[in-house]
Chains A and B, each alone.
Chain A
Amino acid sequence: MIAWRSTWSIYKRELLRFLRTAFQSVLAPVLTTTLYFIVFGAAIGGRMPDLGGVDYGAFIIPGLLMLTLLGETTSNSSFGIYMPRFTGTIYELLSAPVGVAETLIGFVGAAMTKSLILAAIILATARFFVDYSIAYPLLAVLYIMLVAAAFSLFGFILGIWADNFEKLGIIPMLFLTPLTFLGGTFYSIDMLPAPWDTIALANPIVYLVSGLRWTFYGSSDVNIWVSFGITLAFLAACTAVIAYIFRTGWRLRA
């Protein structure tokens, strides 16, 4: 049985923490997205042909969305659990009558909510630069939620694994961001020469960007169901790791 009051308390507190730094949390992605649109959308995009019948400026929106989504979701979630560990306030969570379900729904739910807010802000910002439409809006929201959930869980694992700030930042900085850049954010995999077009398929982010792009424009590099399948598999893997962490108390309980 899930203790919903406890869950709500965790969720609400995490969102309030987000609002405390709202200026930075909101302004940073808006500024970053604006810069990307100026550089890639206007400066370079003006000289690029349409891709699959989609204007280049519009083509990069799902990729930019994914770029911010993955980074922000992972860092929000990892900070959410790492900071209580670092400051010692995690004692309260561990001594409370809450288990894995309340903790995950609270922390991950809050991280997902933040991500959805960010996604909305980025889409609104994009509207200032390019005209676009979303072919399957419900599927797009569902897909964004799925990716946000998966990477919130991933961030949660990072936050428990990390025992210093360097480790906390190293995965998003050295792996996530490069993989996202190379994952078709700014180009279609079809544009890559052989064998890079095949090698690119080893990058899991390709499937995420491609999946979101499909919900926007109805076409993508990879079959939508493959994208959904990989996202769900990643979600399941992260859930299994977290279940193990809570069962054994790894890095949570002495």
Chain B
Amino acid sequence: MEPILELSGLTKVYPGGLKALDDVDLTIRKGEIFALLGPNGAGKTTLIGAVCGLVRPSSGTIRAFGHDLATDWRKARARIGLVPQELSTDMFEPVKRAVSYSRGLFGLPPNPARIEEILRSLSLWEKRDERIMALSGGMKRRVLIAKALAHEPDLLFLDEPTAGVDVELRKGMWAIIDQMRARGVTIILTTHYIEEAEEMADRVGVIRNGQIIAVDEKDALMAKLGRTEAHIALAEPMQTLPPVIAQLPVEIEQDGMSLCYRGGDGTGRGKAEVADLTKALTHAGIDYVGIETRESSLEDIFVSLLGENAQ
């Protein structure tokens, strides 16, 4: 698919010496939702800042829509939107005026119909004349999204879009992101809610200490690094594994009262092997009283990739 954003060797060293981005190479494809995962301080916001003009890269290149951001930044920035992590907006301004200002700031002529459409899609139309300070936290975040959409960007950055919002609102936000994708907007979201990436993303990138340590299709990443875990509670204790079972990644636990299978690859092989295991137990006349299976989530993969830094 056509690349919409290409980062090459992107490095950012802050004046204090902190290397927030370390030789980052990343390509974002048109129309996808890309989730950038990483613990606090991993470099997610710096990466967004570098693309959006808030951070000056120390080295490396950024190309958006084929334009080099160092030289042709006006054309590129006109097509990029940003929803920041913090609720940063003029709280005294009425909603509609704030959104209209954003459109004008990006050089577009006034378009009341388009502003109305955006506000309605975000359930803000009824609040259009209210000051932003009078809105709830969730509505304020939606105002920031409306401001970012006002200039009809082709690439939208959402920096922790659901940070600090309740579950219901988070799901509402996911629906909004889905709508944007349906309109053809490419979305890059940073999050530390793995559930969010699992729900929304086409591709996932994991960043740690300023380095991208994994980038893949979400399903491929789960297939590559996913695991199945099964616990089989036995009716009688077992001391040694029968040979047919010993071929599988199975261990005896709880003084022989339980077998634990850890294996598979996220493509369903683990489930099939657990089925084989239960058949082998039956065939060998070993009785069991319970089975509990669990597929690893993106969160497990994230934790295993990051190790202790995932905290």
Q: In the complex the two chains form, is B84's CB within 8 Å of A9's CB?
A: no
B107 near A: Cβ within 8 Å? yes
**Any chain B CB within 8 A of the CB of A226?**
no
| A10 to B105 Cα, complex, angstroms | 7
* Given A91-B54, A95-B80, A253-B56; A3-B107 close (CB under 8 Å): yes
Which chain B residues numbered 40 to 58 have a C-beta less than 8 Å away from chain A?
46, 49, 52-56
State whether the Cβ of A249 lies closer than 8 Å to any Cβ in chain B: yes
The answer to the question of B109 belonging to the interface, with a C-beta cut-off of 8 Å to chain A, is: yes
A253 proximity list for chain B (CB < 8 A): 53-56
A9-B101, A253-B53, A254-B49 as given contacts; A91 in contact with B107, CB under 8 Å: no
Query: Is residue B271 within 8 Å, beta carbon to beta carbon, of the partner chain?
Result: no
- Stretch from A40-48, A96-104, A158-166 contacting the other chain: A96-104
Interface presence of B106 (CB below 8 A):
yes
Closest chain B residue, CB of each to CB of A8: B104
What 0/1 readout, one digit per residue, does chain B (70-108) give for beta carbons within 8 Å of chain A?
000111011010101010111010000100011011111
- Least Cβ–Cβ distance between A39 and chain B, in angstroms: 35
Contacts of A94 in B (CB 8 A): 52-54
Q: Which residues of chain B are near A49, meaning CB under 8 Å?
A: none
- What number of residue pairs across chains A and B have CB atoms under 8 A from each other? 73
Residues of A within 8 A of B56 (CB): 249, 253-254
- Give Cα distance in the complex from A201 to B92, angstroms: 45
A73 to B157, CA, bound (A): 36
B105 touches A92 (CB 8 A): yes
Q: Which A-chain residue is minimally distant from B97 (CB atoms)?
A: A16
Write out the residue numbers on chain B whose beta carbons fall within 8 Å of the beta carbon of A99: 74
Report the minimal beta-carbon distance from A111 to chain B, rounded to whole angstroms: 17
Cβ-defined contact, A254 with B104, below 8 A = no
Do B82 and A95 touch (CB < 8 A)? yes
A20-B92, A89-B88, A254-B14 are contacts. A95–B52 as well, Cβ < 8 Å?
A: yes
Given contacts A6-B104, A87-B88, A88-B84, contact A95 B53 (CB under 8 A): yes
Task: Answer whether residue A13 sits at the interface, using C-beta atoms and an 8 A cutoff.
Answer: yes
Residue A93 lies at the interface, judged by CB distance under 8 Å to chain B: yes
List, in ascending order, chain A residues with CB within 8 A of B75's CB. Answer: 97
Residues in B whose Cβ lies below 8 Å from that of A9: 101, 104-105
B203 at the interface (CB under 8 A from A): no
Residues of B within 8 A of A (CB-CB), count: 31
Cross-chain contact A91 with B82 (CB below 8 angstroms): yes
Is B227 interfacial (CB-CB < 8 Å)?
A: no
Distance of B257 from chain A, by nearest CB (Å): 57
Q: Tell me which residues from 59 to 105 in chain A have a Cβ below 8 Å from any Cβ of chain B.
A: 87-89, 91-99
| Beta-carbon contacts under 8 Å, B200-229 to A | none
User: Which of A8, A91, A253 has the largest count of B CB atoms less than 10 A from its CB?
Assistant: A91
Q: Which residue of B lies closest to A16 (CB)?
A: B97
Bound form: Cα–Cα A3–B92 in Å: 26
Query: Which residues of chain A have C-beta atoms less than 8 A from B78's C-beta?
Result: 97
B147 touches which of A8, A12, A92, A97 (Cβ 8 Å) = A92
Q: Flag if B77 contacts A95 (CB, 8 Å).
A: yes
Question: Are the C-beta atoms of A97 and B52 separated by less than 8 Å?
Answer: no
**Interface digits, A13-38 against B, CB 8 Å rule (1 contact, 0 not)?**
10011001000000000000000000
Q: Which of A5, A249, A254 has the most CB of B within 10 A?
A: A254
A38 nearest CB across to chain B (Å) = 34
Complex Cα distance, B100 from A8, in Å, reads 12
Within 8 A of B (CB), among A106-162: none
Q: Closest residue to A249 on the B side, CB-wise?
A: B56
- Tell me if B90 and A87 are in contact (CB < 8 A): yes
Task: Determine the chain B residues whose CB is within 8 A of the CB of A96 once the complex forms.
Answer: 77, 105-106
Measured in the bound complex, the distance between the Cα atoms of B147 and A89 in whole Å is 12
Which A residues are CB-close (under 8 A) to B53?
94-95, 253
A-B contact pairs, 24 of them (CB 8 A): A3-B74, A6-B106, A8-B104, A9-B101, A12-B104, A17-B90, A20-B92, A87-B90, A88-B86, A89-B89, A91-B54, A91-B82, A92-B102, A92-B147, A93-B105, A94-B52, A94-B53, A95-B77, A97-B74, A97-B75, A97-B77, A249-B56, A254-B46, A254-B56
Given contacts A5-B107, A9-B104, 15 further A-B contacts (CB under 8 A): A5-B109, A6-B107, A9-B105, A12-B101, A13-B101, A87-B88, A87-B90, A91-B52, A91-B88, A92-B147, A94-B54, A97-B75, A99-B74, A254-B14, A254-B46
In the A-B complex, the 9 residue pairs with the smallest Cβ-Cβ separation, listed nearest first, are A9-B104, A88-B88, A95-B52, A97-B74, A97-B77, A97-B78, A254-B55, A3-B107, A96-B105
